[in-house]
């Protein structure tokens, strides 16, 4: 996949956060992938990492000021904006995201982003409270609406000693995101879903036990994101309700980020009415009745958790009598795949269910590959195992068939 970056001109813009040190590794990995890299830094970034470090790794002078008389003698920032095939901002702090969303051009980095026509990818990194703040989420929504690719943040321990969504995605994840981004001209459409509204849920949900720990699962969201992308290419108006994953938003897709099963339930129903619902998310079946206000301390040999059922989003959607023409579910099983899938198809009154075996090599949650079978009341289809992107296209083909059946 890194072959996609061979010969690409990547402008890395480094924001002023503690995660700025990771940007050094990003430069190294981009160059290993065959990309030519130039670096621009905010004033804050220079408090964490020196421009000389980036110069040594990139092999090019580091730009750090809009007021560099030598570089700006020939309007250097405009030349740099034109030079870039792609721009990656990592880390993208809350302040930097806000200025980008507002279209400000008050320093070198924001000016470059306003002056370029190259695709922009941002990798947020900040306190989890800052990330979850309504202002930051509004800024992210604004940027996504302009076609900016957002990668991360990841969930985990943070510099301030707490844990939550806010960690900068790892360098290999950022490079992979750039590698997997397809240019707009590669997106084809036959218009088979034109005029239809499609809601897709994808990824896991995290149910907080305390401020540090949560109950979750290993869903990567890759299959659901591929399905959303395929539906958009076929002309649908797609809303993607995404659990906590670091995947890039597919082109032409409206994305709503959530964390818990309750939030996913709310977001899915807020996106209705729709013509098609595809429930590819791995939603938690149980959630703590009352999350602990403080970290649960290790005290006994065993720990009992008081859990309660979460809403069954798929069954509730299927019970709707609005404009839904097709409700599609997913079943990830470790045994008796066909039996459990057909049971779920009937019990939840679905039109179609897609079953796949998880916990096997080269398939399932974290893999880019999958093997799956679709079932409907009077039929089934076994898909040839392969890449999730191809399987997503074939699933959308089947959905179009079932709509017209």
Q: What is the mean pLDDT of the segment spanning 256-275?
A: 95
Q: What is the mean pLDDT of the segment spanning 271-275?
A: 94
Tens-digit pLDDT profile for residues 385-394:
888 888 899 9
Distance (Å, whole) CA 389 – CA 319: 30
Alpha-carbon 206 to chain mean position = 15
HSE on the CB side for 15, CA within 13 Å? 24
Count of positions (residues) in the chain? 405
Task: Grade residue 275 by pLDDT with cuts at 50, 70 and 90.
Answer: very high
Task: Grade residue 43 by pLDDT with cuts at 50, 70 and 90.
Answer: very high
Residues 357 and 348: beta-carbon distance below 8 Å: no
Closest CA to 284 of 216, 341, 353: 216
Question: Is it the case that residue 185 has pLDDT exceeding 70?
Answer: no
Tens-digit pLDDT profile for residues 330-361:
998 877 888 999 999 999 999 999 998 765 55
Cα separation values, 180 from 169, 173, 174, 232, 393, Å: 15, 10, 10, 17, 17
- pLDDT for the residue 186: 39
Task: Grade residue 82 by pLDDT with cuts at 50, 70 and 90.
Answer: confident
**Structure tokens given for 198:** 């499609």
Tens-digit pLDDT profile for residues 90-138:
999 999 999 999 999 889 999 999 888 888 999 999 988 889 888 898 8
**Structure tokens given for 37:** 């890299």
Residues 124 and 141: beta-carbon distance below 8 Å: no
336 is annotated as an active-site residue = no
Residues 34 and 3: beta-carbon distance below 8 Å: yes
| Number of Cβ within a 10 Å radius of residue 145 | 11
Alpha-carbon 2 to chain mean position = 19
Question: Distance between the two ends of the chain, CA-based, in angstroms?
Answer: 38
Residues 94 and 25: beta-carbon distance below 8 Å: no
Rounded to two decimals, the pTM is 0.59
Helix (H) or strand (E) holding 374: strand 372-376
217, 300, 356, 370: the active-site residue: 217
197-202 and 276-279 beta bridge pairing = parallel
Distance (Å, whole) CA 56 – CA 80: 19
- pLDDT for the residue 55: 94
Question: Is it the case that residue 77 has pLDDT exceeding 70?
Answer: no
Q: What is the mean pLDDT of the segment spanning 261-277?
A: 95
Task: Grade residue 179 by pLDDT with cuts at 50, 70 and 90.
Answer: confident
DSSP string, 248-311: PPPTTEEEEE--SHHHHHHHHHHH-S-SEEEE--B--SEEESS--SSPPP--SS-----EEEPP
User: 150-164, 268-282, 321-335, 364-378: which range is least confident on average?
Assistant: 150-164
Task: Grade residue 188 by pLDDT with cuts at 50, 70 and 90.
Answer: very low
Residues 262 and 162: beta-carbon distance below 8 Å: no
Mean residue pLDDT across the chain? 87
Distance (Å, whole) CA 10 – CA 380: 46
Cα separation values, 318 from 82, 93, 358, 396, Å: 50, 40, 25, 19
Distance (Å, whole) CA 117 – CA 315: 44
Helix (H) or strand (E) holding 10: strand 9-14
Tens-digit pLDDT profile for residues 198-250:
999 999 999 999 998 999 998 989 899 999 989 998 999 999 999 998 787 88
**Structure tokens given for 252:** 């032409």
Task: Grade residue 187 by pLDDT with cuts at 50, 70 and 90.
Answer: very low
What residue ranges define each of the domains in the chain, with the CATH number in brackets? 2-181 (3.40.50.1950), 199-403 (3.40.50.10300)
The DSSP symbol for 181 reads P
Task: Grade residue 366 by pLDDT with cuts at 50, 70 and 90.
Answer: low
386-387 and 369-370 beta bridge pairing = antiparallel
Question: Is it the case that residue 54 has pLDDT exceeding 70?
Answer: yes
Q: What is the mean pLDDT of the segment spanning 149-177?
A: 81
- pLDDT for the residue 239: 96
User: 4-8, 111-115, 215-219, 377-381: which range is least confident on average?
Assistant: 4-8
């Amino acid at each position: 996949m890194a072959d996609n970056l061979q010969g690409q001109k990547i402008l890395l813009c480094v924001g002023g956060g503690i995660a700025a040190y990771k940007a050094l590794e990003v430069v190294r990995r981009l160059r290993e992938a065959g990309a030519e890299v130039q670096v621009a830094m905010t004033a804050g970034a220079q408090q964490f990492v020196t421009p000389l470090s980036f110069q040594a790794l990139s092999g090019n002078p580091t730009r750090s000021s809009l007021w560099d008389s030598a570089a700006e003698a020939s309007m250097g920032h405009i030349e740099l904006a034109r030079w870039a095939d792609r721009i990656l901002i990592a880390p993208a702090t809350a302040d930097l995201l806000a200025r980008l969303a507002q279209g400000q051009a008050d320093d070198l980095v924001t000016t470059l982003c306003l002056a370029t026509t190259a695709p922009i990818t941002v990798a947020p990194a900040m306190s989890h409270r800052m990330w979850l703040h309504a202002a930051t989420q509004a800024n992210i929504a604004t940027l996504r609406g302009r076609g900016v690719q957002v990668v991360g943040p990841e969930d985990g321990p943070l510099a301030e000693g707490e844990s939550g969504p806010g960690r900068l995605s790892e360098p290999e994840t950022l490079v992979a995101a750039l590698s997997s981004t397809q240019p707009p001209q590669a997106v084809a459409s036959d218009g088979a879903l034109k005029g239809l509204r499609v809601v897709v849920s994808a990824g896991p949900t995290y149910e907080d036990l305390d401020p540090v720990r949560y109950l979750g699962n290993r869903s990567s969201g890759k299959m659901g994101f591929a399905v959303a992308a395929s539906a958009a290419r076929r002309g649908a108006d797609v809303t993607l309700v995404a659990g906590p994953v670091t995947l890039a938003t597919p082109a032409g897709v409206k994305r709503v980020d959530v964390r818990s099963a309750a939030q996913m339930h709310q977001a899915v129903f807020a996106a209705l009415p729709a013509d098609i619902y595809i429930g590819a998310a791995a939603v938690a079946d149980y959630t703590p009745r009352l999350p602990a206000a403080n970290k649960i301390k290790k005290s006994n040999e065993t720990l009992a958790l008081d859990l309660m059922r979460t809403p069954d989003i798929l069954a509730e959607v299927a019970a709707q009598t609005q404009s839904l023409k097709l409700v599609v579910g997913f079943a990830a099983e470790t045994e008796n795949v066909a039996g459990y899938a057909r049971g779920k198809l009937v019990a939840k009154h679905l039109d179609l269910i897609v079953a796949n075996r998880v916990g096997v090599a080269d398939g399932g949650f974290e893999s880019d590959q999958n093997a799956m079978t679709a079932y409907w009341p009077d039929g089934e289809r076994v898909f040839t195992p392969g890449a999730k992107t191809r399987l997503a296209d074939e699933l959308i083909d089947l959905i179009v068939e079932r709509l017209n059946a």
